[in-house]
Amino acid sequence: MTVRAKICGLNDPVAVAAAVRHGAAFVGFVFYPPSPRNVSPDEAAALAGGVTGGVQKVGLFVDPEDALIAAVLEKLSLDYIQLHGTESPERVREIKAKFGLPVLKAIKIDSLASLDEIARYENVADMLLFDAKEPKNKADALPGGNGLAFDWQLLAGIRIATPWMLAGGLDAGNVAEAVRISGTRIVDTSSGVEFAPGRKNPAAIEAFLKAVAAIETK
């Protein structure tokens, strides 16, 4: 079975081109001003012009107001709305109904107890994303993209009705092991393919996607 990959936090055309050229299944644009990867709706629309070949476009939002989502959708089409904050299941349903798009909901993991959140969202969101919970002792921690991994063994053998992807500290060097341990069939990286926060490295994008393509799964 093929493992698919999402490259998130894209904010320049060279990185977008690298992601598309080397086989990303999804590309993500961040609409969250505190993030170094944040883009405006106009910037994202320009970048989306380089997304071809059936690659799906994901817009990442953190506890967004409807007005922000609407402003983005006025400028470009999205295949998924990614919610990476503390959105409740009711808010997920509301956004799906209002904007008519599938929702990818992030669940933050730091222990076995974190998996209890799955039951709240698996029949509400169209896809789930498991990411490392932001550290409480880090003043500048973001809701995602902190380059931190969690214990992938927590997901081993898990049965979830909803499709899901794995994020958190993934790069070309560890993605095969992450897939082997967790059993995921979709992986997501942002900081793992950067020179520095918010500065994507096209060579690292290529290496990550080649590493994913080389994974052999049953």
| Active site positions, annotated | 8, 131
Q: How far apart are CA 3 and CA 187, in angstroms?
A: 7
- Closest to 182 in 3D by CA, of 146, 149, 133: 149
Task: Give the span between the Cα atoms of 118 and 62, in whole angstroms.
Answer: 18
Helices (H), ranges, the chain: 13-21, 41-48, 66-75, 89-99, 117-121, 175-182, 202-213
CA-closest candidate to residue 128, choices 151, 100, 102, 157: 102
State the Cα–Cα distance between residues 45 and 55, nearest whole angstrom: 15
The tokens for 124 are: 């509400």
Measured CA to CA, the distance from residue 189 to residue 196 in angstroms comes to: 14
Residue 25 token pair: 């299944």
Report how far apart, in Å, the C-alpha atoms of 37 and of each of 29, 106, 131, 135, 208 are. 8, 17, 17, 19, 19
